[in-house]
Amino acid sequence: MRLTRGRLTIRTLQYHARAYALVMIVTAVAAAIITGALFVGDSVRGSLRARVEDRLGDIEFALTAPGYFREALAAELQASSPTTILRSVAILLVKGTVTHADTGARASEVNVLGVPRELWGFWADRFTFPAGVLDSLRERAVVINESLAEMVGAGGGTAILVHVSKDSDVPAEHALGRKAGTVRPIRLEVGGVLPDHGPGLFALESSQVPVRNVFVPLETLQRSLGREGQANSLLVSARASPQALQTLLGLTWKIEDAGLRFRVDDAIQRVVVESRALLLPAGVSTLVKMAASRRQMGASETLTYLANTIALGSREIPYSTVAACDQILDHSLQAGTIALNQWAADDLGARVGDTLRLKYFIADDDHRLREVEAAFLLSEIVPMEGDTADPGWTPEYPGISNARSLRAWDPPFPVDLDRIREKDEDYWRDHRTTPKAFLPIADGKRLWASRFGDLTSLRLRPLWKDGDPVSHRAKGLDDEIARAIKPESLGLTFRAVKADGLRAAQGGTDFGGLFVSFSFFLIASALILLSMVFRIACDRRARELGILKAVGIDRGALSRLLLVDGAIVSLTGSALGCWLALAYASLLLLGLRTIWRGAVNAPFLELHTTWGSWLLGCGITLVCALGAVGLVGRRVASSMPRSLLAGSIPEDNADGSSGARLQPPGRLSFAIAAASLLAGFALVVCGALGLIAAEAGFFGGGAAIALGALAFFRAWLRAPRGHVATRPRARSILLLGAMNARRSPSRSLLTTSLIASASFVIVAVAAIGRDPGSLEPRKSSGNGGFSLIGKSSIPITVSLSLPEGREALGLGPEASRVLERARVFPFRVRPGDDASCLNLYRPQSPRLLGAPRDFIERGGFAWASSLHLTNEERANPWILLDRRFSDGAIPAVGDASTVQWILHSGLSEDIVIRGDDGQEIRLRLVGLLSHSIFQGELVVSEARMLEAFPRISGNRWFLFEAAQDDAGVITRELESGLESHGFDVEATGALLAGYQAVENTYLSTFQLLGGLGLLLGTLGLAAILARNVHERRGELALLRAVGASRSTLARLVLGETALLLAAGLACGAGSAGLAVLPGALSRSGSVPWAALGATFTAIVTAGFLASIVAVRAALRAPLVPALRRD
């Protein structure tokens, strides 16, 4: 077979297999690290995706309504398109609290799910239910998941109390809404426990934190909530888009599903459309009117309210309904006037022209009811017949409409029973809720309209009388109205929960990239080691390469030949390394599940890989390896043939002249080194004095000092050698050893630089770890001066700051005492995804907090940046939340870290979310907080939140500004007193510590991997020493031949080791230590000196062990061949 370059390559690799095997192994290590890090990213994403599939089963779409719809809607929807909709199940899904009936152990933020048996079909093919669990779900027996069972200490047969809010349809914050006393405990028994996967993990939100679920038979929960036959969530598996499902829903649903009532009264020829929520939703009245006009029916707007008093002089009528309308007896009322029915007029002795007073309640911002008064001129007295005798003017109101008497009322507002007269009870008996007075609709809206709506009903009537009952004309009108209303306009919007979850599983943090950056020093060390071992392999071939040059191979061809050799070895190493990467990734994942658990809180992480990562990891390794090999090859190929034939590759000089050096360093080199040192010290001092940002001072200054120190070291390596022979013997041998570092300045500098940079980072990272747990509440800090955060599972619609609010919640005197002294700031919550670093999933729709006015005016917190324009805005950027943008964007404030790293956004940028009606809402970031307690959410003003999300009622998030002594009492009193609401109190320091734990875990990961990189760097040191010893084997043999002892030779080699290690550590750790000294002195208890000491002890030990190996190799080498060779 003819000799070709390929054959030469193969023969060379075979002959030098041992040397190249080392190159391959080191390349494999680099590939394992790089690819392994990428696999970590794959694993996090894959594990999160698997969790989405696990918790949702076959559920692809979900709809959670703000109100309730018919349970039968699910089956009707599926029947409307059975080939598209594979499964459709209606459930009840509410938030609640579970307590152990005996021990009182409590779990809040529990998903209380009222479910039919059909629900389990979504997991039929994916999950094997534990035997008997599903059968255990019966009337008063429930199934809970493992997380909940652990939290409350419950198992099969345990009695538990499930606290849920029995809300009425009327918004709690409406003046006529029920504000307190709605939370009911339901006593149930645990029938079985589902493990924390599959349906046990069911949740519609994306978070890796295990949810707490209690599955209740649907009928049981319906009964407990007074929602028989109703549901509030639909779960669907379908081959359709969300838009198609939405359209099907709009064609299928009935008017009742929209929360509307449709009453036909042939006696008075009226059709009444009203809302279960008391007030008609915005936009519905227009659609109803349009549908009515198509049937030749007119529509009258009505807003009926409850007047505490109708008074004329000293005569009063208590507790009467008053209807504002645009037509009474076919004519309109004038503004400012009032019409009384005959009964009321007689009771007051009123005559047309009299001025009547109405007193009624309104709800203010503190959730308090305030009685106000309005005066009207009596313009008309209407007979009580026909339309004006219709109790249907007033919408059905639970607790009032069906009461047998006035005294039997169960209203959500205070009633003075002493005011009720016998004649009032007679009126109630005969006429029920028939209005006693009528106002013009404009006046009614002015007095009683709210964000929830401005009409209580529409009264439809035929435009002309044709003798037909109105029921004929209105036949099918309810369905027509239902089809005209888009479900999404009322908040019934399908979400592609499976697709959203899988998208969120991409994660807010790229763990692959993160671990590649954590492994930077490990990778750098591996690549430097790779070039060293490749260089050693080339050294062994110096004479071969020399003869190739002598017979006429040019520099480029020789370089390519070496590159091909290196490429084949690197490719093999990369491929091997990618398999080793599985082990490295598994190790990292084990770390994430155990010692680094604080960073991810995801014990379910499993190894996943993708072809992309395989190829990328191999590719990056190959490119880096080829780069390292190519650089070495080029240098080798540039050497003069003569020096190669002599058996060595010259270090610094292309002309291969031995013993000669490049120009010694001039004054300029020393000047630059000195300038760098001075600049570094200056930056550190400026940072310590606060003249510049601390991080800039530290990192910039430290780096400059390290570079200056390395520059000095470089200059020393290249300086002319002094005379060592005249110095005392012991020092001379060590010095001689140290001087050997100058034989190959670039090699020594490379190793020293790697040790310096790795140790710099390790010290720096240890020093910048924060410890916010010790931070006292301070207004200008991340805690804003607040000591406690309170969170409630069930909204609280009374004020904790007011005695009547605390009384309504049943809080005791101790709670009242401490809360009276504290300042409490209640926030609205629009539920969404946790946007903090504690959530691995990428937030699709961040949680929103609505900040009350007094919080905005108070100010405080540490700010990273804001869009302030005025001095007032600069002093208190919170007031930017009131800014109005012409495009309708809502100003929002977020934490800088969250915005940058999780939401991938920035100041003045918009974050787009969907409103309850599916419309796009733009949140514009006007301020960024620094290391704040708001890392999990975005903050908007309460006013703007209620404009965009009017249905949000009550507060679920509270900040407490209290004395330290009161903090414990507040916590105890509220957690016990509001146990049924699932109220949890947490110290702001603990919250920040939780966030910081993530950052500190990342830092410790970086440190650990950086330390491993440093350790690998010491292997590089060992490689250098071994090579140096090999190069000097003749010299060492000569020393032995003339009588040098083993210990002398050992000191010779150790001298060089000590110098390189000491130089590296001094330049790196020393400069970092100097830079962080000011900060470290102020928090000496929190710098992990012990861990740092242990790390560097390990490094130094490894370095000296490497030296010992090299020394032993030198002493073992046969004397004569080494002498003869040279």
Partner 1 sequence: MGALLRVTGLRKAYKTPAEDLVVLDGIDLELPGGSSLAVTGPSGSGKSTLLHILGTLDKPTSGSVELDGQNPFGLEDRELASFRNKRIGFVFQDHHLLPQLTALENVLVPALVGAGVTPEAESWGRTLLERVGLDQRFDHFPAELSGGERQRVAIARALLNRPRLLLCDEPTGNLDAHSARAVRDLFLELHREQQNVLVVVTHSEELANAFERRLALRGGSRGGV
Where does this chain bind partner 1 (CB under 8 A)? 2-5, 8, 11-12, 14-16, 543-544, 546-557, 640-642, 645, 655, 657, 659-661, 664, 720
Element (H, E) at 991: helix 988-1031
What secondary structure does DSSP assign to 606-640, as a single string? Answer: -----HHHHHHHHHHHHHHHHHHHHHHHHHHHHS-
Calpha distance 360→370 (Å, rounded): 8
CB nearer to partner 1: pick between 22 and 142? 22
- Closest approach of partner 1 to the CB of residue 641, in Å: 4
At closest approach, how far in Å is the CB of 668 from partner 1? Answer: 19
CB of 530 to partner 1, least distance (A): 23
The distance of closest approach from Cβ of residue 560 to partner 1 in the complex, given in angstroms and rounded to an integer, is: 12
Give the nearest distance from C-beta 18 to partner 1 in angstroms.
13
d(CA 618, CA 611): 11
Task: Write down the least CB distance from residue 689 to partner 1, Å.
Answer: 46
Nearer to partner 1 by Cβ, of 14 and 594: the residue is 14
Residue 554's identity, in one-letter code, is D
- Paired with 315 in beta bridges are 312
Nearer to partner 1, 558 or 1087 (CB): 558
> Smaller CB distance to partner 1: residue 410 or 655?
655
Which CB, 645 or 750, lies closer to partner 1?
645
Measured N-to-C along each axis, helices 520-540 and 17-56 cross at an angle, to the nearest 10 degrees, of 160
16/1032 with CB nearer partner 1: 16
Residues contacting 198, CB < 8 A, separation 6+: 54, 55, 57, 123, 126, 127
Q: How far is the CB of 550 from partner 1 (least distance, A)?
A: 5
User: Do residues 277 and 269 lie in contact, with contact meaning Cβ atoms separated by under 8 Å?
Assistant: no
Question: DSSP H helical segments within 141-205, as ranges?
Answer: 146-152
Nearest to 829 by CA among 734, 959, 742: 959
Whose Cβ is closer to partner 1: residue 16's or residue 461's? 16
- Rounded to a whole number of angstroms, the distance between the first and last alpha carbons of the chain is 38
Question: Would you say 638 or 801 has its CB closer to partner 1?
Answer: 638
- Is residue 172 within 8 A of residue 179, CB to CB? The reply is yes
Minimum distance between the CB of residue 547 and partner 1, rounded to whole angstroms? 4
| Chain position carrying tokens 């050096």 | 661
Question: What gap in Å lies between CA 455 and CA 325, rounded to an integer?
Answer: 9
Q: Please give the C-alpha separations between residue 1048 and each of 404, 737, 1052, 1114, in angstroms, as whole numbers.
A: 111, 10, 6, 12
Please list the residues that pair with 453 across neighbouring strands: 450
Smaller CB distance to partner 1: residue 554 or 820?
554
Tell me the closest approach of the beta carbon of residue 772 to partner 1, in angstroms. 59
Q: Select 664 or 831, whichever has its Cβ closest to partner 1.
A: 664
In whole angstroms, what is the distance from residue 429 CA to residue 421 CA? 13
717 close to 749: Cβ distance less than 8 angstroms:
yes
* Strand ranges for 915-993 from DSSP E: 920-929, 937-941, 955-961, 984-987
Type of residue numbered 1096: F
Query: Is residue 60 within 8 Å of residue 497, measured between CB atoms?
Result: yes
Minimal distance, residue 552 CB to partner 1, in Å = 2
The tokens describing 931, both together, are 């290391």
In the bound state with partner 1, the residue whose beta carbon lies nearer, of 329 and 645, is 645
Among the listed residues 1101, 965, 1100, 1119, the one whose alpha carbon sits nearest the alpha carbon of residue 1046? 1119
Minimum Å gap between C-beta 642 and partner 1 is: 5
Q: How many angstroms separate the CA atoms of 852 and 849, rounded?
A: 10
Least distance (Å) from partner 1 to the CB of residue 1031?
18
Where does residue 3 rank: exposed (0-12), middle (13-18), buried (19+ CB within 10 A)? exposed
Closer of 2 and 729 to partner 1 (Cβ): 2
Instruction: Report the C-alpha gap between 623 and 633 in whole angstroms.
Output: 15
Dihedral sign of CA atoms 338, 340, 344, 348 in order:
positive
| Pick 11 or 239: Cβ nearer partner 1 | 11
**Least distance in Å: CB of 19 to partner 1?**
12
What's the chain's Rg over C-alpha atoms? 40
CB of 569 to partner 1, least distance (A): 15
What is the H or E stretch that residue 26 is in?
helix 17-56
- If you ran DSSP here, which 8-state letter would residue 902 be given? I
Complex with partner 1: residue 405 or 658, whichever CB lies closer: 658
The gap from C-alpha 264 to its chain's centroid, in whole angstroms, comes to 51
Question: Please, what is the minimum distance in Å from the beta carbon of residue 654 to partner 1?
Answer: 10
Nearer to partner 1, 557 or 715 (CB): 557
Q: Which is nearer to partner 1, 655 or 820 (CB)?
A: 655
Q: What is the dihedral of CA 1030, 1031, 1037, 1038, to 10 degrees?
A: -170
Joined together, the tokens standing for residue 254 give 């009935």
